[in-house]
Amino acid sequence: MAETIPITAEKIRKLQVQGARNVAIAAVKAIQTQAKQTKTKTKIQYLNELKEAQTIFVASRETEPLMRNAIRWIVTKAQTAKTEKVETLSRNVVANANQFLKDLEDSKEHIAEIGANRIHDGSVVFTHCHSSTVTRLLTKAKADGKNIKVICTETRPAYQGRITANELVGLGIETTFIVDSAARSFMGNVDVVIVGADAITSEGNVVNKIGSSSIAVLANEARVPFYVVSELLKFDPETLNGECEKIEQRSPNEVWKEAPPKLIVRNPAFDMTPNRYVTAIITERGIARAPYGESLRALFAL
């Protein structure tokens, strides 16, 4: 197995690669590298190596259906390829990975175009954590000539909100940075909330960075639309069978490294926002609204 697989998986586990989209891209590129470097001699050996890489990446982060779906698609394509030659299989994996990466980039542009239409000139937008898709959407809104302002949270304990703030300031967007617990104090001055997603369940419940569900409740209280931007591949097919989306529990050291002995510190990375608080889910194929099960299935069928 190529060294890039365990190295990349460890970077994902340690949050050196952040964001569902970036995690999926890193994993797919690592599998591409393995395909180019494989030393296997038979199709069975090659598929076993590919499945081993899949297992390693799935174990690196529990709440990453985009990565899981991407790798599952590439593995399935390899398993069903009508060739026994490793060299041909390897070329197919590289080509399929390139196709996935292109489709993923295209989806971000489609989401940005659709989502920017939901932002009006002069709007104050509230966002949480970091999502490259949200940033692209806000960039599109600004490019369309809309004068917007953004309020973003620091997003403890890993402070991903600082990434968002840096990007937005660099784009020339007026940005206000707040502590997470100040969200309610600012919600009354907000026109729309837009967040990303790490996973979408079969009922349209949204798994995103911890704190997202609280912000959704605050938005509902203030009658502020709460939009989620997400690629359809973040839909988790496992939830169709009644399974709950796993919520990753991260190291307590991220919260308080020098905590008193015997103190219990919990650090869930994500929470689940019930669909009743979600105004709409903006995807690359259009906008999904309640009832989300039917709406998402219709978009998948397009």
What pLDDT tens digit does each residue of the chain (302 aa) get? 678 999 999 999 988 998 888 999 999 999 999 999 999 999 999 999 999 999 999 999 888 889 999 999 999 999 999 999 999 999 999 999 999 999 999 999 999 999 999 999 999 999 999 999 999 999 999 999 999 999 999 999 999 999 999 999 999 999 999 999 999 999 999 999 999 999 998 889 999 999 999 999 999 999 999 999 999 988 887 776 556 778 889 999 999 999 999 999 999 999 999 999 999 999 999 999 988 878 887 887 75
Q: Is 152 tagged catalytic? A: no
- The answer to whether 125 and 100 are in contact (CB under 8 A) is no
In angstroms, the CA 178 to CA 126 distance is 10
DSSP secondary structure string for all residues of 116-172:
HTT--TT-EEEE-S--HHHHHHHHHHHHTT---EEEEE--TTTTTHHHHHHHHHHTT
Q: What is the largest CA-CA distance in the chain?
A: 63
- For the entire predicted model, the pTM comes to 0.88
Q: Is 144 tagged catalytic? A: no
Q: What domains can you pick out in the chain, each with its CATH number?
A: 4-109 (1.20.120.420), 117-301 (3.40.50.10470)
CA neighbor of 28 nearest in space, from 126, 79, 100: 100
The catalytic position among 103, 106, 144, 198 is: 198
The catalytic position among 103, 106, 121, 129 is: 129
- Beta-sheet strands, E only, within the chain: 124-127, 149-153, 174-178, 192-195, 199-200, 206-209, 226-229, 270-273, 280-283, 286-288
